[in-house]
Amino acid sequence: MSSGKSLKITWYGQAMFKISSAEGTVVVDPTPPQTGYEYEPMSADIVLVTHRHFDHFYLDGITGNPKFINASGKFDLGGLKVVAFDSFHDAKLGEERGRNVIYTWEQAGLRLGHFGDLGHMPEHDLMKKVLKLDVAMVPVGGIFTIDAEQAVRLIRDLEARIVLPMHYGTPDCVVPLEPVDEFTRRFKGNVRLVTERPVEVPRDSVPPTTEVWVLPYK
């Protein structure tokens, strides 16, 4: 766990992230080894699950006694306030793949958002609630979520400072998804290929305009 006003963020593949700070450790969408991603079980203070599909809901990968959320609403979790919004896993209001939850919260003085398996472009009212994030975790791999072109449009409208692409194809991923290059070649701003794992994000050094940070998953 890091100290002071900074985050340590680790991506594990699919939509799974661990975000640690002095306030605690948040894990989002723990993924099972059946997706091709392996990691040691980890402790968490809070686990956020955007939907209960198998690749986002692997609680056996989490140790301890974390607080667990899988719903929209407002939650005060001992120093971390989470606000979650309903969305859909497809462009037909959930008819094909059901509902999805978008989570936003503040940690280490930074405002974060995790978009889960968002499958549609959000309506205006929802977009107003998720604007100007410091860190946005966004699916870009298509097939089961928004695709690369839609993701570029989404982050342009979000005006987030740091965008972490997720839920895309990698050499280890067994789920058929488009590679991250489909997204990054369409994005016209700065793309940073991060080698640190975890990557540290101090509050006072987020970029002034949107950057895409491609994180390693192992």
189: domain CATH number is 3.60.15.10
Domain count, the chain: 1
Percent of the chain scoring above 70 in pLDDT: 98
Residue 81 lies in a domain: yes
Q: What is the pLDDT of residues 39-55, one digit of tens each?
A: 999 999 999 999 989 88
pTM beyond 0.85: yes
Residue 118 lies in a domain: yes
Q: What is the pLDDT of residues 54-78, one digit of tens each?
A: 889 999 999 989 999 999 999 998 8
Residue 208 lies in a domain: yes
Residue 1 lies in a domain: no
Between the alpha carbon of residue 131 and those of residues 112, 164, 191, 211, the distances in Å are: 10, 15, 20, 15
Low-confidence ranges of the chain (pLDDT < 70): 1-4
Between the alpha carbon of residue 170 and those of residues 101, 161, 211, the distances in Å are: 24, 25, 21
Residue 101 lies in a domain: yes
Domain that includes residue 108, residue range: 6-214
